[in-house]
A and B are shown apart, each in its own frame.
Chain A
């Protein structure tokens, strides 16, 4: 990460106790930690003087764009450099993976595919001219020359899929048909739309036949059963990362070195894509230094195109560093959004309230560029089952292009949209069949070993039933009728409503890879390098603490967001989802091959996946470095020293008060162990790589005569300062020696069809008041239950929970962006017309959160940053229905919409 005061303050961990976030002191004193805080003069080795860049975005997509008219800037304020599509084409600077990210600039003569598409970038070499020019260009649509009215280019859907499952008689037994057992339906798409396969389709016909059968059965349910079908709409949301898109770059044409400070959740991808951007360029690129600041995104800065604009701008700075930072209007205009979805959900329920079948058909709006739309769609629809077991299910999704701002991977990744609406339907069904809404949920809850709608068995024990049992006994729930009557009697003009919703959210992506390096210095300091980037959730605090059980203390020094890993010389095609099994089997014979090098900070992945990697590195450092040193110390002296009388095993090792102990052996400090390991030239550092495809990859290794199998797929080691010449000669990979695995066990590629197996469950009860005159909703209180395994830092978990709920309230009640020509792509949106919930609107003093205790001492931490924001959405809708007697099917449920029905 970019140099900052973080790490200079040792006070965050003292006396064996976490006192505050590792980055806390720097952040609370307003130090430069974000990329947006950085100026060229702050960066060592950079020139002091910097230039300023401004992107120009077309505000419409219904006319042919002819070019710019910047005469308003004449004579003094014209940009010193103007870059457009023609200039980039001449220099062969191209957007990496343009199908995914879009083009840098719209070429004149075309209709923009979306509102807000950049057409050019200006650079001014001094701030005062820059700001004066910006003022003349902002909100000034006369600078764009448009021709005749025309339609935007036709495009095929970004993605579509269908997940069909018919379970066996036993929910834990074999399926008759499922994606996991058989396949996912991937239909052809073209400009006319999605072409769902026919029943005689050679690859997908059987699934389509089952789909038709399920639909037909649901339309004509058996005697005593009823099918409830509703249509929902979930709106477009701006994640509103408070730090806007920004970055700072400096390109020295003489040396060919490009330096970029970026703000992104996916630094590794960004760095590699900048190299791709320059791969055919006539501008020389000899070296790239890409670093990130501490940032924030909620998915808005995950695989976004903006870092490439920063890098591209730097190329044209005439040797000056160039700063490119969107203002809030531009951020609304161009930064990634949450997908809006139209959702048709149907549930067939028998006379006892048992769910028999479910169908869900989702149509998402991906906006102007594909980005993650295909996978957001599939993740959304595979989550639609929420917390229930479905004997049969037919789940389909398509995500379509539009002229709206590009939708990306915002917190929830489509599951908020699907699960919230399922929870609204279940609540309505309970009303319709006269059953307690939590009782109905309990009756149908998915239990351990049962399959999800993809036919995969979720990992471990499913505890949402435990949460439902707690919630249904809560006084808020049991006394809701009395509380409603009492509240409304005391508050004339206000309707009381209580709502509940429960969900379980996947974490991870099905291709989670991480790299961690841990080593001890001769002085006994513990140094770590890690791929984790900080997005506010606290990974750079928690990952340092993860070493403690294995190494006696947190890491002393750390480098996060590392992209350059010479000590892990792996190769990958980065096609973890699409490589056929045979090909992967062949590729994996090469011990240097992995399916993916590393993952971004996204998908609530740090707590589980990064923690696993950190744990493995710590365990291996203990096993390969510290334990042998301990044995050597304990075994020193005549007749095998103090250890001879004791049958010592590695499993005996544990840390007490920062000292390594085993049975009755003398406690040893890390400093002493390190000194010994370095003196003897033993292993003093490990670097590991991990990969998870809904199960951990394991591999076998032989290191210094030890054979072992571990849940990692690559390993490098470093020997201490006293290493002999032969070992030193082996340390050719960034000072490390790669240890080829002797055998590897990658989870079969068929597990891609699982959709997910890792879930964190969460439920929320919310009570609110609805003003009968204005429709205004006031949150009175809310109560949330969460299960997330072992909490690494409970305060961070609680903070995520509270923040997620506030964001969910915004989705449920306030936030809304048009997806047409009035939408944010026209450059006129800001907080003055986009309401983010404030403290007075989230029950700041009246909320509680409860986390279930872990099942065991080794119950792994689960990713929970997304799940916590989802149940409140459905719960608010259900509470408003309870208050008003009216069901709403479209978000946000704003005061004006409520007012219309009251």
Chain B
């Protein structure tokens, strides 16, 4: 007998559910097998490699990522989640409009096979959003990028081009570092 729960959430801005799913279902299974959102990639199934990290927008705790391979749907029930499929915008003609992080990954040739890319995109996105709220000194950027992304395993790239891309986004985006503040134009 397969025990089930009723699950609902907001995923990439869309209401999902209520739907009956096995009570021990992991988020990555829900995304892949029930919603056909396969950009969240299963690799270790242990929460070790972070290929499957998705973003949780929690009004109480803020924005953070979780490893979807070891996070049960029961825990995510009712929450708001972003996956890689919800990061890029749309250019009005049906083509994707990459986020700043995605664009930087493209221009830096950051990824090779790309299996781990969605996880990197999500964690880097959360980092940028955190820095929007709490900017840092420019000389701390490398340390902060490393702290934020070191949980991600990439077997192809040696990480360099991912890290350089995130660093570039942080240093070039006004408001993310103390040295590059957002300049508000005074109303005429």
Contact = CB atoms under 8 A, between A and B. Distances in A.
Assign chain B's interface to a size class. Answer: 35 or more
A242 B155 contact: yes
A329 B43 CA distance: 10
A832 B46 contact: yes
A28 B98 contact: yes
A563 B112 CA distance: 23
A327 to B, nearest CB: 6
A799 B114 contact: no
Interface in A700-755: none
Nearest to A325: B42
Nearest to B160: A802
Contact of A831 (B25, B44, B163): B44
Interface in B78-129: 83-85, 87-88, 95-96, 98, 102, 105-109, 111-118, 121
Of residues A243, A796, A840, which shows the largest number of chain B Cβ atoms within 10 Å of its Cβ? A243
Interface stretch (B33-41, B58-66, B130-138): B33-41
Contact of A830 (B45, B151, B159): B45
A537 to B, nearest CB: 6
Contacts of B105: 28
A9 B146 contact: no
Contacts of B150: 838-840
B114 A27 contact: yes
B95 to A, nearest CB: 7
Interface residues of A, number: 70
A839 B146 contact: yes
Interface string A526-548: 00000000011110000000000
A796 B111 CA distance: 10
Given A28-B121, A538-B112, A844 B146 contact: yes
Interface in A37-79: 37-39, 41-42, 76
Contacts of A42: 36
A127 interface: yes
B153 A34 contact: no
A298 B158 CA distance: 14
Interface in A534-570: 535-538
Select the residue from B98, B108, B158 with max chain A CB neighbours within 10 A: B158
Nearest to A10: B95
Given A328-B43, A807-B155, A799 B161 contact: yes
A240 B122 CA distance: 22
B182 interface: no
B174 interface: no
A834 to B, nearest CB: 9
Nearest to B116: A242
Contacts of A25: 96, 98, 106
A327 B49 CA distance: 14
Given A29-B84, A327-B45, A796-B109, A242 B158 contact: no
B159 A839 contact: yes
**Centre residue among B43, B150, B156 by max chain A CB count within 10 A:** B156
Contacts, number: 190
A312 interface: no
Given A29-B84, A802-B157, A842-B159, A132 B2 contact: yes
A219 interface: no
Contacts of B106: 19-21, 24-25, 28
B149 interface: yes
A28 B111 contact: yes
B168 interface: no
B107 to A, nearest CB: 6
A294 B113 contact: yes
Interface string B43-58: 1111011010000000
A32 B149 CA distance: 24
Contacts of A839: 146, 149-150, 152, 159, 163
Contacts of B183: none
A452 B124 CA distance: 48
A505 to B, nearest CB: 18
A100 to B, nearest CB: 26
Nearest to A11: B95
B158 A802 contact: yes
Interface string A559-583: 0000000000000000000000000
Contact of A27 (B29, B117, B159): B117
Given A34-B115, A836-B153, A803 B158 contact: yes
22 contacts: A19-B107, A21-B106, A29-B98, A29-B102, A37-B38, A37-B39, A39-B38, A127-B33, A242-B115, A242-B154, A327-B45, A328-B46, A537-B112, A793-B109, A798-B109, A799-B112, A803-B154, A804-B158, A806-B157, A830-B45, A831-B46, A840-B146
Given A30-B39, A537-B112, 8 more contacts: A24-B106, A25-B106, A30-B83, A131-B25, A242-B41, A242-B154, A806-B154, A806-B159
Interface of A: 8-9, 19-21, 23-25, 27-34, 36-39, 41-42, 76, 127-129, 131-132, 135, 239-244, 294-296, 298, 327-329, 535-538, 793, 795-796, 798-807, 830-832, 836, 838-840, 842, 844-845, 847
